Amino acid sequence: MASKTSRIFLFLLVMTVSFVVLILSQEYLSKSWTIFSGKHELGWETFPLNINLWGQEEKTAVPPSVSTTAVVETPMPLLYRGNFTKLPQWDFDDVYNQDAPPRPTTCAQSLRNSQDENFKKAFLPNIRLFLHKDNINMSEWNRLSHFNNPFGFMQFKYDDVMASVKLIPKPKEPLLLPKPGGDGCVHCAVVGTAGILNGSKVGAEIDAHDYVFRMNGAVTKGYEEDVGNRTSVYVHTQHSITASRYIFGKYGYKSAPHDEGIKYVLIPEAMRDFQWLEGLFKGNESFSGPHHKKWPGAYYSGQYNENRFYVLHQDFLRYVRNRFLKSPNLNKRFWAIVRPTNGAFALFLALHTCDTVDAYGFMTDEYMKYSNYYFEKYIKSNVIFYANHDYILEKNTWKSFHKRKIIKLYQRTEPETKTETPKQH
């Protein structure tokens, strides 16, 4: 009896110590990055109002009568994207909330145990993933109002955004859990829409994963042999879920995936996404809105459930851009529209919620051999490069992650048909 009690005590002690060590190492990681990037810390509360518009911090001392921990009660004045000729650099740009519950690493092969130095330095395993009513307050609002959408709330009015954010329920469970009876690892497939999947016959391999992520115009009916038929997590925006029917209808797309128990993840990319959320959570009273003719929940084919609906946090989106996909186009005049693709955000969501990630249907060096989308089976189209995304940077990132064994990227190399060496960009 006594020895059982002491064993339990010892166990709890070990758990507590490991937890503290984990927290400290997180702290260390974020600090070392802070120093590495030449930035320093500042209290948000005292900061926002004395920045000039061109990103130069004015080192105004805090008036002695104002406590540095005083709570700011009002939204800061709006900043406008048009006032900046390139991405503004704030001292706190690369600082993020990191409060996702730490996950025990029972999975030896987890990407969380990667020994790749650059990945270890950049990766924040417990970065805050989701936005909800309990993790926003005025100082958070003011901090995030420095960053353009979807990385923050620049140019948005407090009341417009908060009308929906204050309705977002706090997620009741993590996005993914290890499957019972499995090996303790969360194995994920993330399926993009690239033409490389046409004729690939990897559908069964994709479906064999614990969880399958898809995004945007993820039509599976009629393409199962190549892309599988399961969807566990569907990543979308208001635009992608409403427009896909019109754009991809001719390829058989009828509605967003709606497998039993599916989890929906929204990227709040623009004001219309917040209006969408407001309609979604208010339910029947708000059937139509400026960007939807019927209740938004009806777009999820009977599978909408508040408990399985997640909204990505601005810190997570900005972290993905800043640490992994910082395009040189952010220094150009059209900087404010430059952002990672929905597919990239979905892949990074998987990197933060899974132990192993296999990516299918993402861009590879041989993209010119394939159509833009896998469902363009009969006429070979060319890959379209939109100015708001840096596809080449993303392509090279996936390839590098694959080489460094962080993900497994499906590249469909068929040596006998390989005729040229990949182009250098």
In this structure, are residues 212 and 191 in contact, taking their beta carbons and an 8 Å threshold? yes
CB of 351 to ligand NAG, least distance (A): 23
In the chain, the amino acid numbered 178 is P
Q: Which lies closer to ligand NAG via its Cβ, residue 80 or residue 385?
A: 80
Here the tokens at position 361 are 């249907």
CB of 186 to ligand NAG, least distance (A): 20
Q: Which lies closer to ligand NAG via its Cβ, residue 119 or residue 211?
A: 211
Q: Which lies closer to ligand NAG via its Cβ, residue 35 or residue 71?
A: 71
Residues between 243 and 282 with contacts to ligand NAG, criterion CB under 6 A: 259
Residue among 1, 61, 71, 384 that touches ligand NAG (CB under 6 A): 71
In the chain, the amino acid numbered 9 is F
- The number of residues that bind ligand NAG (CB under 6 A) is 20
Residue among 114, 229, 286, 388 that touches ligand NAG (CB under 6 A): 229
What is the contact mask toward ligand NAG in residues 78 to 97, using x (rule: CB under 6 A)?
A: --x-xx-------------x
Choices 132-140, 174-182, 186-194, 413-421; region in contact with ligand NAG by CB under 6 A: 132-140
Q: Is 57 in the site for ligand NAG (CB under 6 A)?
A: no
- Which residues lie below 8 Å from residue 245, measured CB to CB, with a gap of 6+? 253, 254, 255
Q: Which neighbouring-strand residues pair with 358?
A: 189, 408
CB of 326 to ligand NAG, least distance (A): 24
Choices 15-23, 60-68, 134-142, 303-311; region in contact with ligand NAG by CB under 6 A: 134-142
Residue nearest ligand NAG by beta-carbon distance:
199
Q: Which lies closer to ligand NAG via its Cβ, residue 119 or residue 316?
A: 316
- Which residues lie below 8 Å from residue 263, measured CB to CB, with a gap of 6+? 175, 232, 233, 234, 308, 309, 310
Q: Is 380 in the site for ligand NAG (CB under 6 A)?
A: yes
Of the candidates 93, 114, 96, 102, which has an alpha carbon nearest to the alpha carbon of residue 16? 102
Q: Is 46 in the site for ligand NAG (CB under 6 A)?
A: no
In the chain, the amino acid numbered 373 is Y
How many CB atoms within 10 Å of residue 236?
25
Distance CA 71, CA 354 (A): 37
Residues between 136 and 165 with contacts to ligand NAG, criterion CB under 6 A: 137, 139-140
Q: Is 135 in the site for ligand NAG (CB under 6 A)?
A: yes
Q: Which lies closer to ligand NAG via its Cβ, residue 275 or residue 303?
A: 303
Residue ranges that bind ligand NAG, judged by CB under 6 A: 53, 71, 80, 82-83, 97, 135, 137, 139-140, 198-199, 229-230, 259, 284, 371, 376-377, 380
